[in-house]
Structure 1
Amino acid sequence: MDTNSLQIIVIIVIVILTCIYVYVRNKKNAAAAIERRITKEWGNIPSKKYTSDSYSNISHYFRNSTGVPAHVIDDITWNDLGMDDIFRLINNTYSSTGQEYLYKLLRTPCAEEEVLKEFGTLADIFGTDEALRKSMQRAYMKLGTSRNISVSDYLEVITGLEPESNAKHYAGWAAITASFALLAFSPAAGIAAICIVIGYIVVSYYKCKAQIDPYLACVNHILKLDECSSDVISVISSHDGLEDYVTQLSQLHHIMAADLKGSGILGASSGLDGSVAAMLLDYVRILTHLDIIRFNKMIKKIALHKEQVFLMMELLGRLESAIAVASFRQYLDSNNGWCEPGLSHSSIRLNAEGLYHPLINNPVANSIDEEHCVLITGSNASGKSTFLKTIAINAILAQTIYTCTAASYSAGYYRIYSSMALRDDISRSESYYMAEIRSLKRIMDAARQQDSCPVLCFIDEVLRGTNTVERIAASAQILKYMAERRVLCFAATHDIELTELLESCYSNYHFQEEVLDNDVKFNYRLYTGRAASRNAIKLLSIMGYDDAIIASAEQMASDFIKTGKWRNI
């Protein structure tokens, strides 16, 4: 062997060894980064960033799911309570499947004790077994998220797709073979033919790929689901309490394995993570169209396994949601605490001690024990709306993730509604008042359904969109209607008159404030009884309004209280 040949061999060996070294080093660095991320984010507020599209996609699994329970948290209630922020606080997941299931979980309160306790047990298992939890998180991180698509959306569409013929792709194989054969007869003509054919193959590849790319991404994610299922089975197979998940996932994996075999070319199983080999595989796909050919062959098979895919998504999603809830509980442990709820079908009573809002730093906790409807009075910013949201959010958390932000919480199983943060709907030419009465009507309709769980509802400033006389009259009758049915209603109001009109069927509570040294102080504590103070005019003074306005307003209010009539200005 001459010197030049030896040098070439040495260079090739060095290049190969360098590539291997870089690949191994990158794998180790990636693994170390995963470990750091898992450790850093556990028990803390998730640092996820959402685009409007990616966040919108999260809800699609919930909206596309079959077998949705009779009661869900409707859009009005979800938005009133700021449940998007609650979801983001809990969402310490690493896969689309996990976060989409968690979102669905929070929107579908459960009234079955066994199901809720089983989920609580799952969270306990992952919260106490660090090695198990980290192995699961690695598997879900490998599954990853599909940022630009909702798998459930495209899965529905794929089941109706007709696969295209692969004839043109096979023709490309024949053309490139013929072009290389032409080299033996005419090198110049062969090279020209190869260039033309490769150009056509590349252009047609990207054209076909653009048409099926969202569906291809969906199929690819389904393959990753199956791969993740296999990883999860191996992780949890020897752990007590997880046997049902092992059995069901194993059955699904076995059913789907034959039809998914040989699909690594689509990218789900390569595991090459941006390496040189992965780049070479991309070129192979471009020149051979193997991923498109495999996709066309798999469409019908995916359609046959639609139910299995949804079930696999549910099982894997439930497990990762339990991990996220375990992390949420750890976060609460290091802040203001939490408890598992006590729930009963035999009582409508709600009894909570040390109840607080999970999104508030240094929150003031309150307690309440009621089986009657409740009216809450007090000035603006005193804490009425926040308290209503605190109870409502905890009622949802109790019946979804079996976790409450309270020292103790016991209650019935409820159908939960609110009418709190409404606004004019310009698109429907609908005033605030029309939006409000429409919102209240849906709660009253639910109250008439006596064959299911009682209604727990929250109303902030009943009928604020109309005049005082009609507001009080109509509000009194609506709230009385609620109290006469199987409803536990919490309503906040500025209309002190309602506390007297409804004192036979509503318990009264209030929040209060102090005006001292030209400043207003709120303690955000809940007190029994109706509000006794009226500080709205005093607040005008604190804000620097003219003294003449303050004095005249106070005199008019005093005269009205004495006579029940307004004097002319």
Structure 2
Amino acid sequence: MILIVLIVLGIPIGVMIYVYLQNQDALNAIKNNFGMKPEFDERRQMKSVEEYHRVFPSESIIDDTTWNDLDMDAIYLSINNTQSTMGETVLYSHLRNQGEFNRDKLESAVKYFTENPEKRYDIQKNLNIVDKNDNAEVLTSLTINHKAFNVPYGSYSIMRIAMILGIVLLFVRVEIGLPLIVLTYISNYLLNEKFTKLVSYRIESLSHIMSMIRAAKKFNNTDELVSFVDSDAFKKSLKKFGHLNAIYSFALPKSSIGGTMEGLFNDLVNVFFLITPLAFRKVSSLIDENVDDLLVIYDFIGYLDMSIAIASYRKSLTHYCHIEFDESLKAPDVVNVKHPLIEDVAVGNTIRLPQYNIITGSNASGKSTFVRAVTINALLGQRINTCTAESFAMRPSFIITSMAIRDDVESGDSYFVSETKSIKRILENVSIQDYSLVVIDEILKGTNTIERISASASVLNALSKEACCVLAATHDIELTEMLSDYYTNSHFRETITDHEISFDYIIKEGPSNTRNAIKLLEIIGYDKELIDLANELAQEFKENRKWKKL
């Protein structure tokens, strides 16, 4: 008997202890992970992170080509120390946006959370209620009115009345009331199952919305955040959903506490009287009528979470600076700038770039990494006021690139066709922007030498007539000569010994006068006769500007 009592008491106590320890682990992780590089759960999908950007795109964005050229998914993941779906989607959208925003307000928020760790921790604990969900698609669901589900609410009302009539008849004519209750219950059970499948997509979204509202209700002291959020608008919007929790407890097709006596009772009542469709309709109607208020709450939570993530990102860096905007600058002026993904080990570069640049250098010398480092820091500086440099100054610029071109299998475009389309979009965009930062790596390399150099020179010449800064990295030394009146030449250089090639990764003035491709063939063991012939052909072309016939 004592053993049974201990078992009965021990199981719920054990469960409570386990849940408590799990919660403590989660809270400790929140505190310990601040300032650390976030770890991305491989089971999650970037599609869910992109939802805010996809549903509410801005007019001026970092397009997909530029985003992929700069490997911005990896940059985003290095910043994304958010706790909620709202935070990670707002952060992603903010990085993709090239429009105006209140930089001072964002900086105030980041500074506040940097200097007030206890306040930050309290907010993160509340944000953790929401968590992250790949399948909820909250914003997408808000664009779909619940009436679009074509739920037969009239039929449910008839069946609800039939059940009530059966219960009444049970006390008057039991031989009629009991069969009516049984048949109605079976019917209602099947209707409830069909309804569950019909609205399952919306239900998961509603569940996440409710988590968001529960978290929002814990932000009682928003007055101290008034310098960087509109707390009055937030409180006004939150009032619209004051009684939503009570209604929603019946809007779940399956009780979240199923398996307990309370859960079984709720399920029984739901099926008897088809409460779930009724509650679902009321909750959905309330949400459909107040979408703008939900977006205010969504943005409020997302903005706080994003601001904390930016503060955490800054702490994770070995060094960073704020961007300086200077309208007089034609190109970035940088001191010890590094690529953000390797800023703890990379060699920094210091240069005041001219407006139009051709950057040459041999393979693996650092030219592509340099132009990416400058461009990513320009983007991060403009969006989150954070650059991995000792100083970074530039004029506000629209950023567009053509760097990591691939064959497009879906459209059937070859490498060269994809490249020409990518360059064309740059020419079209720079003509309508106030000022642009244009970055091209290995321009038009997908075609023959004569046409590549001719077309490349023509494209770069056209860009020199636009309001933009150009960083063009190339192997084509000919371009440095052809465009020397408009473009300034810089280069990266290698040091070659008998059996090794080394790089210092420092940008230098002037065009490159070295090549290393044939030397690389020699180092990895190509036949000496082949190497000698390659060197002979290269020297012949260098001296006479024409190829020797073999």
TM-score above 0.5: yes
Q: How many Å separate the matches in 1 of 2:417 and 2:356?
A: 25
Which residue does the alignment assign to 2:68?
A: 79
1:43 equivalent among 35, 45, 48: 35
2:445 equivalent among 424, 440, 464: 464
1:320 equivalent among 305, 309, 315: 305
1:400 equivalent among 383, 399, 403: 383
Aligned 1:224-373 pairs, distance under 5 A: 224-232=211-219, 234-239=220-225, 241-242=227-228, 244-257=229-242, 262-266=247-251, 276=260, 279-280=263-264, 283-284=267-268, 286-288=270-272, 289-332=274-317, 336-360=318-342, 362-373=345-356
Counterpart amino acid of residue 306 in structure 1? V
Describe the shift of the 1:11–1:213 C-alpha distance in structure 2 as closer, same or farther (beyond 3 A): farther
Counterpart amino acid of residue 393 in structure 1? I
Aligned-CA RMSD value: 3.1
2:320–2:390 CA contact under 8 A, matched in 1: yes
The reply to whether residue 136 of structure 1 matches residue 156 of structure 2 is no
Which residue does the alignment assign to 1:62?
A: 53
Which residue does the alignment assign to 2:481?
A: 500
SS in structure 2 at match of 1:492:
strand
Shift of residue 466 of structure 1? Answer: 1.2
Describe the shift of the 1:196–1:403 C-alpha distance in structure 2 as closer, same or farther (beyond 3 A): same
- Structure 1 range deviating more: 27-36 or 170-179: 170-179
Describe the shift of the 1:310–1:160 C-alpha distance in structure 2 as closer, same or farther (beyond 3 A): farther
SS in structure 2 at match of 1:368:
strand
Shift of residue 218 of structure 1? Answer: 2.0
Which residue does the alignment assign to 1:4?
A: none
**TM-score normalised over the length of structure 2:** 0.90
1:163–1:296 CA contact under 8 A, matched in 2: no
Counterpart amino acid of residue 55 in structure 2? N
1:374 equivalent among 341, 344, 357: 357
Which residue does the alignment assign to 1:3?
A: none
Shift of residue 153 of structure 1? Answer: 1.4
Structure 2: where are the runs of 5+ without partners?
A: none
Deviations, residues 420-448 of structure 1 (Å, cap 9, x unaligned)? 11112233232211111111111111121
Q: How many Å separate the matches in 1 of 2:349 and 2:170?
A: 85
Aligned residues: 547
Q: How many Å separate the matches in 2 of 1:435 and 1:84?
A: 21
SS in structure 1 at match of 2:217:
helix
1:132–1:235 CA contact under 8 A, matched in 2: no
Counterpart amino acid of residue 363 in structure 1? A
Aligned 1:11-30 pairs, distance under 5 A: 21-22=13-14, 24-30=16-22
Shift of residue 168 of structure 1? Answer: 4.1
Shift of residue 118 of structure 1? Answer: 1.4
1:417–1:456 CA contact under 8 A, matched in 2: yes
Q: How many Å separate the matches in 2 of 1:512 and 1:410?
A: 26
Shift of residue 31 of structure 1? Answer: 2.8
Shift of residue 552 of structure 1? Answer: 0.8
Describe the shift of the 1:474–1:205 C-alpha distance in structure 2 as closer, same or farther (beyond 3 A): same
**TM-score normalised over the length of structure 1:** 0.87
2:257–2:263 CA contact under 8 A, matched in 1: no
1:110–1:399 CA contact under 8 A, matched in 2: no
SS in structure 1 at match of 2:393:
strand
Q: How many Å separate the matches in 2 of 1:376 and 1:301?
A: 58
Structure 1: where are the runs of 5+ without partners?
A: 1-6
Shift of residue 300 of structure 1? Answer: 3.2
Counterpart amino acid of residue 541 in structure 2? F
Q: How many Å separate the matches in 2 of 1:408 and 1:281?
A: 65
